[in-house]
């Protein structure tokens, strides 16, 4: 994904809330220049932040979460399984198990 595609995708979903290219560009540039983040990590982080700010829902793939957290696939799968086991103990598994 290139920077323009990233911005266009975000504007397609969040432009209706007044989010503009002029607001997104410096955030993306800051992530690249000052935090050495990949465009994928920036995109996922902005999706998460904008969804929270505007009460929207975003769904993230395992690859998206890997880009956000820097964890390996194996580490994330282990963490997911630990969370799943904890939810089973709490009796909160109906939707979780069906989605796995």
What is the tens place of the pLDDT at every residue in 17-68?
999 999 999 999 999 999 999 999 999 999 999 999 999 999 999 999 998 8
Domain check: are 44 and 12 in the same one? yes
State yes or no: pLDDT of 88 exceeds 90. Answer: no
Domain check: are 76 and 43 in the same one? no
Domain check: are 6 and 20 in the same one? yes
Q: What angle do CA 61, 64, 69 make, to 5 degrees?
A: 125
3-state secondary structure 50-78: HHHHCCCCCCCCHHHHHHHHCCCHHHHHH
Amino acid 67: pLDDT: 86
The parent domain of residue 44 ranges over 1-69
pLDDT band at 90 (very low <50, low <70, confident <90, very high): confident
State yes or no: pLDDT of 74 exceeds 60. Answer: yes
Instruction: Give the DSSP letter string of the chain.
Output: --HHHHHHHHHHHHGGGT--HHHHHHHHHHHHHHH---HHHHHHHHHHHHHHHTT------HHHHHHHH---HHHHHHHHHHHHHHHHHHT--HHHHHH-
Higher pLDDT, 2 or 70: 2
Q: What is the pTM for the complete model shown?
A: 0.79
Domain check: are 80 and 63 in the same one? no
């Amino acid at each position: 994904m290139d920077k323009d595609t990233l911005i266009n995708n975000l504007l397609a979903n969040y432009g209706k809330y007044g989010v503009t290219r002029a607001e997104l560009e410096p955030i993306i540039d800051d992530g690249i220049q000052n935090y050495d983040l990949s465009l994928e990590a920036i995109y996922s982080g902005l999706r998460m932040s904008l969804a929270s700010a505007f009460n929207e829902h975003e769904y993230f793939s395992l690859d998206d979460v890997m880009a956000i957290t820097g964890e390996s696939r194996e580490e994330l799968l282990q963490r997911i399984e630990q969370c799943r086991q904890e939810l089973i103990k709490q009796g909160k598994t109906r939707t979780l198990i069906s989605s796995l």
